[in-house]
Structure 1
Amino acid sequence: MSRPIGPRRIVCLTEEPTEVLYALGEQERIVGISGFTVRPARARKEKPKVSAFTSAKIEAILALEPDFVVGFSDIQAEIARDLVKAGVEVWISNHRSVEGIVEYIRRLGALVGAAERADAYARRAEAHLAEVGKAAAALPRRPRVYFEEWDEPPITGIRWVAELVRIAGGDDVFPERAEKPLARDRILADASEVVRRAPELILGSWCGKKFRPDKVAARPGWDAIPAVRDGELHEIKSPIILQPGPAALFDGLDAIHRIVAAWARRRSP
């Protein structure tokens, strides 16, 4: 029997590598996951939870004897440093775009000897993006969209979210902020800027808590915003949009497109 290619004991510090490895049928390699993992649901039952997002149980991770740890972004740099010092191989991805998510699927698949399956999965994602983009192009109107990923202080959507809004048929009202990789650079110091940009749809995905349309609508001066005036405030569940993984390319994109398409139909002649 041939030895499996690549790492055999993987700890996933965020959800997206867990989702990808399960989709590729490589879940047996996973020995630990993030406590924030919700996709796939079975992972929470099958795998020990050893990390949050900005913190991790280093001793618990080391006890699992991983030969590879996968994390995401500079926010997990300290976790990565501690594990590297302990002799563990760590890969921190830092992708922030739709294209980056697709290529992440291919890279992770290649690392575990599943390059062909990963490429097929990535091509499925690309086909879905194209299919939704084609449907969006047929809509009679494109709404101006404000996406909020946190409320206190208000933080605008990250790059992959803005790109998915565009593919789904809308136009992000803060495209210049979407290019900023760090959340602190997307904080709205002056929330009245949203009023000036007059979005016709407001999409909220507050990481870790329920979006409150009533609370948003009650902000000073926001009653002048078309989306507030028309009651077009909608929640996109954070597990399907705020992780730079497959969920965003499939369920997240579909959720945005349904809202955008419904808005466009209501306003067509």
Structure 2
Amino acid sequence: MIDCTDARGHTLRLETPPRRIVSLVPSQTELLAELGLDAAVVGVTRFCVHPAAWKSRKTIVGGTKQVRIDRVRALQPDLVLANREENTRADVEAIETFAPVFVTDVCDLPGALAMIRTVGRLTGRAERAERLAGRIASAFAALPPFPPCRAVYLIWRNPYMTVGGDTFIHDMMARAGFVNVFAGHTRYPVVTEAEMAAAAPDVILLSSEPYPFREKHRDALRAVLPDLPLHLVDGEFFSWYGSRLRHAPAYFTRLRRAMAAPASAPQRPA
């Protein structure tokens, strides 16, 4: 018997490890692949881009917030992974009428490590998940001390949106040495160009997701805020809380080094 409690306080009991899994969470889809569950995963969302080959071999059940309930039902899953922030309550409740749903809620690194271990227990991969969580924890523990850098992290434009102090991105920023100047806000507040300037950050970070900021967007913002450095960053390392976390510390180190390099150097770390 597998017995786990999800973020809602709902206890999920499975007689055996699931053999037909649908994942509605991109970072957890990648985690399932890392745990060796290719044969068990039957459905993913169109935003589940890692591993790349899965999108052509698994059933696409819609988006994270526009789930095709009929497609999920047709797959006859014995486990559906969802997330409180990424999926809607209505979709979760609809799916729960015909399949077990486990809902996660990850706000920081300890929460991510706990989620990885729990998903490992749910899927019969507890030892593998424990080893992965240990490697991630060790990689973050080995991060060098970075000089504090006051930052605005943008996730959207028209309107511009940033991150508050209760988000997973905020926690990753802190571990990379960034001081979130909008930490006093919650969730994902809208901010104006004037508010960004008034916050006096050392840098503005433009994420690759969910809005795909590119050089043209950086150039447009630079025209309005010419005195503030702007860097394009890979949003997956700041916001994906599954197995991709293994590589986040190395990325943060490269990013901080790139930011300390002369202005003529490339602004997006490899």
TM range (shorter): 0.7 to 0.9
1:225-249, CA deviations, whole angstroms, 9 ceiling, x for partnerless residues?
3x2xxxxx222233443333232x2
In 2, Cα distance between equivalents of 1:253 and 1:217: 28
Kindly tell me: are residues 164 and 251 of structure 1, through their superposed partners in 2, closer, same or farther at Cα, counting changes over 3 Å?
same
Structure 2 residue aligned with 1:203? 205
User: Which structure 1 segments of 5+ residues have no match?
Assistant: 228-232
In 2, Cα distance between equivalents of 1:266 and 1:142: 18
Offset of 1:259 from its aligned partner?
Answer: 2.2
| 8 Å Cα contact 2:173-2:238 kept in structure 1 | no
TM-score (norm 2): 0.82
In 1, Cα distance between equivalents of 2:159 and 2:200: 19
User: Which structure 2 segments of 5+ residues have no match?
Assistant: 1-14, 264-270
Give the counterpart of 1:256 among 236, 252, 256. 252
Structure 1 residue aligned with 2:77? 66
| Amino acid corresponding to residue 144 of structure 1 in structure 2 | R
Structure 2 residue aligned with 1:213? 218
Structure 2 residue aligned with 1:230? none
Instruction: Find the residue that maps to 1:155 and give its secondary structure.
Output: coil
In 2, Cα distance between equivalents of 1:257 and 1:148: 20
| 8 Å Cα contact 1:143-1:264 kept in structure 2 | no
| 8 Å Cα contact 2:18-2:123 kept in structure 1 | yes
| 8 Å Cα contact 1:143-1:260 kept in structure 2 | no
TM-score (norm 1): 0.82
Question: RMSD in angstroms over aligned alpha carbons?
Answer: 2.2
Structure with greater helix percent: 1
In 1, Cα distance between equivalents of 2:170 and 2:253: 13
Map 1:159-238 → 2, pairs under 5 A? 159-177=167-185, 180=186, 182-183=187-188, 186-188=189-191, 190-205=192-207, 206-211=209-214, 212-219=217-224, 222-225=225-228, 227=229, 233-238=230-235
Percent of residue pairs bearing the same amino acid type = 26
Map 1:34-183 → 2, pairs under 5 A? 34-74=45-85, 75-85=87-97, 87-132=98-143, 135=144, 137=145, 139=146, 141-157=147-163, 159-177=167-185, 180=186, 182-183=187-188
| 8 Å Cα contact 1:14-1:34 kept in structure 2 | yes
| 8 Å Cα contact 1:208-1:238 kept in structure 2 | no
Report 1 or 2 for greater relative contact order, CA contacts < 8 Å, sequence distance ≥ 6. Answer: 1
| 8 Å Cα contact 1:13-1:33 kept in structure 2 | yes
Q: May I ask how many residue pairs the two structures share in their alignment? A: 243
